[in-house]
């Protein structure tokens, strides 16, 4: 029988005989065989031959490794090979042999074996060895049919690691898809809850010679939806309550705390207290009823008859005033964030607004981002606010806020934000 087809050292068994060492050729042949054997180890593949006339069988060394077979036992003949294959895949092996022996055609399939109790995946390629003395692929269909199949040549490759990696990747993709679906569902629920608690205002809140517009900008990432809130409502005494705030944390707990804080503010405004007094009461609420929570806020009252805006802040950045094409931040009124310490005094500040003025109140999600510091973000907002004109106030304050948000980089990926704008119309535009 012709020696190795694919090269490399191996063992040969003759019917009724013991395994023996293959013939060693010249140095060049030995070097080539060593290189091919190395390639087989790297690819975890090996070859085998079965002579159907003599019953002689040959395996390369790597096939013993693949099947976990002791080389001292010699190579397995075809009937014994069938016993090494998983029972559920035995029919597949039989079909391969029928294709090779009776149709003189090469065939391949994937089947499983057990090695040391572990199930392993093998890629098996079988091709006929023809009596014509030429490889089956070199003969036409007619010559293949006329030739006699004298043996079977096989290549085995252990692809267990590849299949395991594919299964891990498939499972990872499945888990990632499930996580995305779950995140989308959670985001939908949280946004629906926020909308129920904090309805999105439709258009501007129109008051005599005053326009108010609000934007809530949710974070791009589901897990970053937080407790930002706003309030803009007329009061019985003719003033307008204007407020924005941000509760620490993200997700449903932050939204729940935000709802409690905002609803408490709406009720407390009926007491007639100034903004500084309202913040003091809210601070007590956070300390005693929302344990472990902190919050920032800006609360103000606008007297539409005098245009005086009286406001106080708790840890939040001061509002921005846009006047005659110049945007500046109001002087920071003293006031620590809510929940930080008890018995804190909050300073009340006042500013008289003029015709054509625009006042912007915002939470820190508007200016603070992971990839830039808060001063840089504030500078961007000031620059964008300075480009707002009186025409924006008269014709479309909502559109103006949308343009401002776009100019500063759009939604914050990591945090939501609230932006509340108050415009004082001049007599010409009123």
229 in any annotated domain = yes
pLDDT score for 1:
32
Q: Which of 95, 125, 158 is the last residue of a domain?
A: 158
Asked whether residue 380 falls in the same domain as residue 243, the answer is yes
Domain, as residue range, for 87: 10-158
Mean pLDDT of the chain: 83
Per-residue model confidence as pLDDT tens digits over 336-358: 999 988 877 899 999 999 998 99
* Shared-domain flag, residues 264 and 343: yes
Task: Please indicate, yes or no, if residue 176 is contained in any of the structural domains.
Answer: no
78: in domain: yes
Contact 144, 104 (CB under 8 A): yes
Who has greater pLDDT, 394 or 288? 288
At 256 the pLDDT is 84
CATH number of the domain to which 231 belongs: 3.60.40.10
Please tell me the predicted confidence (pLDDT) of residue 249.
Answer: 85
Residue 204: inside a domain, yes or no? yes
Do 354 and 286 reside in the same domain of the chain? yes
Which of 67-76, 98-107, 394-403 is least confident? Answer: 394-403
Beta-bridged to residue 290, according to DSSP, are none
Domain boundary (108, 137, 158) is at 158
pLDDT at residue 12, rounded to an integer: 60
Most confident of 127-141, 311-325, 382-396: 311-325
Whole-number pLDDT of residue 395: 66
Q: Which of the four pLDDT bands, split at 50, 70 and 90, describes residue 409?
A: confident
- DSSP H/E element including 185: helix 160-197
Question: What's residue 3's pLDDT?
Answer: 34
In degrees, rounded to 5, the angle at the alpha carbon of residue 296 between the alpha carbons of residues 295 and 300 is 130
Q: What is the distance between the alpha carbons of residues 293 and 314, in angstroms, rounded to a whole number?
A: 14
Given this model, what pLDDT does residue 202 score? 43
Domain assignment of residue 175, yes or no: no
Give the best-scoring range by mean pLDDT among 201-205, 248-252, 323-327.
Answer: 323-327
**Averaged over 120-148, what is the pLDDT?**
70
Burial class (CB in 10 A: 0-12, 13-18, 19+), 66: buried
Note whether 348 and 208 are same-domain residues.
yes
Flag whether pLDDT at 334 surpasses 70.
yes
How many separate domains does the chain show? 2
Let me know whether 204 and 105 are in one domain: no
Distance CA 38, CA 186 (A): 54
Is the pLDDT higher at 220 or at 171? 171
Both 315 and 204 in a single domain? yes
Confidence (pLDDT) at 250: 80
Residue at 235 is within a domain: yes
Position 2 scores a pLDDT of 32
Whole-angstrom CA distances from 127 to 5, 49, 121, 133, 135 are 12, 10, 20, 14, 9
Give pLDDT tens digits for 353-379.
Answer: 999 899 999 999 899 888 888 899 999
Q: Give per-residue pLDDT as tens, 9-50.
A: 456 665 554 444 444 457 777 777 677 777 777 778 899 999
Q: Is residue 184 part of a domain?
A: no
* Mean pLDDT within 188-203: 63
For residue 282, is it within any domain? yes
- Using CA atoms, how far apart are residues 33 and 183, in angstroms rounded to an integer? 56
Q: Which of the four pLDDT bands, split at 50, 70 and 90, describes residue 237?
A: confident
pLDDT at 18: 46
Rounded-to-integer distance, Cα 404 and Cα 212, Å: 15
Clarify whether residues 151 and 210 are in a common domain. no
The residue from 127, 158, 189 where one domain ends is 158
Residue 135 and residue 34 share a domain: yes
**CATH code, domain carrying 137:** 3.30.450.20
Residues 73 and 221 in one domain: no
Question: Who wins on pLDDT, 148 or 317?
Answer: 317
Residues 145 and 274 both lie in one domain: no
Contact between residue 295 and residue 226 where contact means Cβ atoms under 8 Å apart: no
143 in the same domain as 21: yes
Instruction: Note whether 353 and 309 are within 8 A (CB).
Output: yes
Q: Could you count the other beta carbons within 10 Å of the beta carbon of residue 220?
A: 14
User: Does 252 share its domain with 125?
Assistant: no
User: What's the residue count for the chain?
Assistant: 430
């Amino acid at each position: 029988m012709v020696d190795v087809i694919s090269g490399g050292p191996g063992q040969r068994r003759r019917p009724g005989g013991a395994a023996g060492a293959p013939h060693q050729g010249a140095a060049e042949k030995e070097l080539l065989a060593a290189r091919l054997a190395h390639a087989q180890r790297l690819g975890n593949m090996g070859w085998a031959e079965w002579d159907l006339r003599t019953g002689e069988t040959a395996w390369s060394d790597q096939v013993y490794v693949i099947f976990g077979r002791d080389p001292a036992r010699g190579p397995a003949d075809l009937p014994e090979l069938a016993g090494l294959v998983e029972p559920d895949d035995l029919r597949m092996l039989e079909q391969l042999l029928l294709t090779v022996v009776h149709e003189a055609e090469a065939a391949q399939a994937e089947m499983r074996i057990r090695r040391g109790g572990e199930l392993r995946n093998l890629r098996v390629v079988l091709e006929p060895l023809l009596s014509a003395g030429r490889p089956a692929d070199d003969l036409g269909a007619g010559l293949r049919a006329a030739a006699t199949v004298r043996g079977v040549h096989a290549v085995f490759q252990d692809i267990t690691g590849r299949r395991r990696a594919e299964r891990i990747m498939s499972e990872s993709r499945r888990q990632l898809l499930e996580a995305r679906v779950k995140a989308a569902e959670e985001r939908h629920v949280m946004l629906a809850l926020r909308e129920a608690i904090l309805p999105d205002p439709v258009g501007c809140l129109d008051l005599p010679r005053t326009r108010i517009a609000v934007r809530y900008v949710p974070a791009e990432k589901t897990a970053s939806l937080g407790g930002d809130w706003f309030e803009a409502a007329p009061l019985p005494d003719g003033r307008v309550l204007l407020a924005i705030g941000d509760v620490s944390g993200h997700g449903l707990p932050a939204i729940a705390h935000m709802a409690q804080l905002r609803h408490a503010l709406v009720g407390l405004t009926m007491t007639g207290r100034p903004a500084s007094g309202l913040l003091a009461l809210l601070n007590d609420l956070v300390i005693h009823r929302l344990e472990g929570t902190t919050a920032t806020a800006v609360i103000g009252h606008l007297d539409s008859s005098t245009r005086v805006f009286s406001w106080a802040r708790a840890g939040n950045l001061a509002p921005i005033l846009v006047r005659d094409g110049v945007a500046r931040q109001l002087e920071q009124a003293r006031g620590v964030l809510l929940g930080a310490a008890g018995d804190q005094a909050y300073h009340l500040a006042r500013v008289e607004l003029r015709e054509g003025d625009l006042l912007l109140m915002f939470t820190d999600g508007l200016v603070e981002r992971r990839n830039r510091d808060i001063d840089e973000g504030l500078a961007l907002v000031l620059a964008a606010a300075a480009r707002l004109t009186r025409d924006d106030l008269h014709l479309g304050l909502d559109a103006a806020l949308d343009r401002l948000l776009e100019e500063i980089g759009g939604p914050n990926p990591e945090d939501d934000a609230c932006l509340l704008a108050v415009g004082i119309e001049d007599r010409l535009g009123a």
